[in-house]
Amino acid sequence: MTNRATAPDAFTLDSGRRLELDPNHRASVRAPSATGYGDESLVDEGLAGVASWLERVDARVELAARTLALFGWVVDGARVLVVGASEGGEVACLIRRGARSVVGTDYGDVFEGDGRIGARRERVMRTLGEHAARATFEIDDIAGSQLETGSFDLVLSWQTLEHVADPAGAMREMARLLPPGGLAFHEYNPFFAIDGGHSLCTLEAPWGHARVTPAEFARYVRERRPEEAAEAERFFTGALNRMTLADLDDHVRGAGLTRETLLPRTRTEDLMALTPEILEDVRRLYPRAGVTDLISRVVRVVARR
């Protein structure tokens, strides 16, 4: 482990510009979530843990359901696709809310990994009793889906869209999977947010992950967190897309979808922390990134087929 007492208090970019470092920054922006994100280990703690976790997950499903209702769709009786289903929390909550059927998808490496996610999913599904038959799980890439055209009324995801390598392709496939009038709802933590590097790639400088090149990021983690450098480098280059809000609009329109609403959740404290120098650093690498991109920790979007 790097000795924090002797660790440098700044990181020098290849250009010679210095990022001032704060060892408390990572913890300060990765706060616990009230809606179950990061609490998946509760599912390992027996029925009480599963129930507690599902109660938190249902809070975010409730928000999605209320948002969808504003645009004429209810979960009850709907055919639903959940992209990035992982442990299946949202799938279970949607079944409980009366969905006719729910298909949860994810990449093969998520479903076929160390077995932990699969075991958790089985515990979650057991809470549904006989209604678990309405839920199925598939290995599928939403950017090149093998699912049947027009087979879902609703396509939903949580904390997934920022990880899709080809978001334009994903939007095109969602348009194919929805019938005319069907809705897509996505809630995600965008790359350009102050916490958009997620735990592995959040640096010790505000928006540090969006101010460094891949080579600079690799040098940073090798110097400061060598014990997880290889994993962090893979995540930085392969698991986080760089989709701005402007890009999202382009992808929605390019897929033939209509954006019904875009709901960035901005934070005043992030606006107060943003400086012209930080914005300049980010836009040097990502010219389409704007102030709203940087101060929105959560983005919710609804699009109609």
Q: Are residues 21 and 116 in the same domain?
A: no
2 located within any domain: yes
Q: What is the pLDDT of residue 112?
A: 59
Look at the block and give the residue holding tokens 């499903």. 61
Q: Are residues 97 and 144 in the same domain?
A: yes
277 located within any domain: no
Indicate the pTM of the whole model: 0.93
280 located within any domain: no
Element (H, E) at 260: strand 258-266
Boundaries of domain holding 12: 1-30+197-239
Sign of CA dihedral 118, 124, 128, 130: positive
Q: What is the CATH number of the domain that holds 70?
A: 3.40.50.150
Q: Are residues 107 and 50 in the same domain?
A: yes
Q: Are residues 97 and 156 in the same domain?
A: yes
Give strand pairing partners of 187.
158, 300
Alpha carbon 111 to chain centroid, angstroms: 17
Q: Are residues 74 and 166 in the same domain?
A: yes
- The pLDDT profile of the chain, 305 residues, written as one tens digit per residue, is 444 444 558 999 999 989 999 989 988 887 666 666 778 889 998 889 999 999 999 999 999 999 999 999 999 999 999 999 999 999 999 999 999 999 999 987 665 556 788 889 999 999 999 999 999 999 999 999 999 999 999 999 999 999 999 999 999 999 999 999 999 999 999 999 999 999 899 999 999 999 999 999 999 999 999 999 999 999 999 999 999 999 999 999 999 999 999 999 999 999 999 999 999 999 999 999 999 999 999 999 999 99
Query: In this structure, what is the dihedral angle of CA atoms 203, 208, 209, 211, given to the nearest 10 degrees?
Result: -160
171 located within any domain: yes
In the chain, the number of structural domains is 2
DSSP symbol at 43: G
Q: What is the pLDDT of residue 113?
A: 59
Look at the block and give the residue holding tokens 């999605």. 64
Q: Are residues 18 and 118 in the same domain?
A: no
276 located within any domain: no
Q: What is the pLDDT of residue 4?
A: 47
Tell which residue, 178, 160, 167, has the closest CA to residue 71.
178
Query: In this structure, what is the dihedral angle of CA atoms 156, 158, 159, 160, given to the nearest 10 degrees?
Result: -20
Q: Are residues 165 and 205 in the same domain?
A: no
Q: How many CA atoms lie within 13 A of 125 on its CB side?
A: 19
Q: What is the pLDDT of residue 5?
A: 43
47 located within any domain: yes
Q: How far apart are CA 8 and CA 64, in angstroms?
A: 44
273 located within any domain: no
Burial call 150-170: b when 16+ CB within 10 Å, e when fewer: ebbbbbbbbbbbbbbeebbbb
